[in-house]
Amino acid sequence: EVKNLEEIFEAKIARDEKIEPKDWMPEKYRKTHIRQMSQHAHSEIVGMLPEGNWISRAPSLRRKVALLAKVQDEAGHGLYLYSATETLGISRDELYEQLHSGKAKYSSIFNYPTITWADIGAIGWLVDGAAIINQVPLCSTSFGPYARAMVRVCKEESFHQRQGYEIMLTLCNGTEEQKQMAQDALNRWWWPSLMMLGPTDDASTHTEQSMKWKLKRKTNDELRQQFIDQTVPQADILGITVPDEDLKWNEETGHYDFGEINWDEFWQVVKGHGPCNKERLQTRVNAWENGEWVRDAALAYAEKQSERKVK
Ligand code: FAQ
């Protein structure tokens, strides 16, 4: 019977039909979705921290309003993705436990510090820019709840990217010192943004299977090339320089050639040894522990309400 179910599943994938939570699916399909979707959710939640650092110090009311809205969107994306992951039969508590114990991964990019206001511009421009490139193909991923979540998430990411690029534009049209700040932020965020799209295809453990299941619709290297091709002309408009001496337009391929990525740094950060890993995790654990009384109170209230209904 499993063989039959597997054939139905494979046929659905081949026809580009969505797999829904109650449909039969191979155990490995379920597991790898829980892995990728929960890591994605954790990334959104941890991803609030580097920018949250600047909400109280945004340079104007308008900047503060936009940044607040952006960070709130990220919370929404995280909660949306946790709900979608729960449809695969894992509880929210288990997912949080995996994050707080350090067992689950979240994106390497959020382990870098935000030391000047220009970093907020660079995150919107580069990090959200890379996120959009990664997530637009996920709108047609094979698992229904993930695909549907991505449609809304991508619309919001597009606002986030413009928000960041506009900060960069303003700084680059400002004083020499402001332009320097923008250049410095580009210098520090460029390479980590390239790493964010994952290891090269030949070093990627999951790409081959995930492409077959149409979980991934493009490989890490394809997405990275697309990101570079799209972003370099934007740096030109800003009038700042991408920190890669080997970056060169290749007439033949119609793409930019680029320099060697420091994969050693990437794996160090992924393994927990980046500049802010400990701080990020500790902040999340503290938020969870400090919020315990709220969860307890909400539960106690819900119990009291249901008791009243019984009587
Ligand atoms: N960081 O075999 P692959 C955002 C791990 S956007 C840490 O290639 P896969 C929006 C990978 O998990 C950021 N770990 O893996 C925002 C695997 O380890 P495992 C989040 C990484 O899954 C913007 C191992 O390396 N976006 O939050 C990273 O096929 C601004 C081998 O790698 C998503 O999660 C990394 N960068 O491809 C928020 C998008 N890359 O699990 C706030 C959905 C790889 O076996 C502010 N995810 N690893 O222990 C994906 O598209 C994929 O999961 C990839 C990785 C492409 C990230």
Assess whether pLDDT exceeds 80 at residue 2. Answer: no
Sign of the dihedral defined by the CA atoms of residues 174, 69, 87, 282, in that order? positive
Confidence (pLDDT) at 310 = 76
Nearest by Cα to 201 from 210, 213, 193: 210
Rounded mean pLDDT, 124-153: 97
Say which amino acid occupies 265: E
Q: For ligand 1, atom 12, which residue shows the shortest CA distance?
A: 105
Q: Which of 95, 270, 276 best tests ligand 1's pocket when mutated (most atoms within 8 Å of CB)? A: 270
**pTM (predicted TM-score):** 0.96
ipTM of model over 0.90? yes
DSSP state of 136: T
Q: Which atom of ligand 1 is nearest to the CA of 131?
A: 6
| Contacts with 219 (C-beta within 8 Å, 6 or more apart), sequence order | 201, 204, 207, 211
223 CA distance to ligand 1 centroid (A)?
12
Q: In angstroms, what is the span from residue 201 Cα to ligand 1's centroid?
A: 13
Over the stretch 81-108, which tens digit does the pLDDT of each residue have? Answer: 999 999 999 999 999 999 999 999 999 9
Instruction: Give the mutation target among 29, 206, 214 for probing the ligand 1 site: most ligand atoms within 8 A of CB.
Output: 206
Cα–Cα nearest to 116, from 28, 61, 67, 57 = 57
For 161-205, what is each residue's pLDDT tens digit?
Answer: 999 999 999 999 999 999 999 999 999 999 999 999 999 999 999
**What is the number of other CB atoms lying within 10 angstroms of the CB of residue 288?**
14
**8 A C-beta contact, residue 182 and residue 172:** yes
Ligand 1, atom nearest to 197 Cα: 56
* Cα–Cα distance measured from residue 256 to residue 128, given in angstroms and rounded to the nearest whole number: 20
Mean pLDDT of the chain: 97
How many Å lie between the centroid of ligand 1 and the Cα of residue 135?
11
Contacts within 8 Å (CB) and 24+ apart, 72-77: 73/156, 73/159, 73/160, 74/44, 74/45, 74/47, 74/48, 75/44, 75/45, 75/48, 76/156, 77/41, 77/44, 77/149, 77/153, 77/156
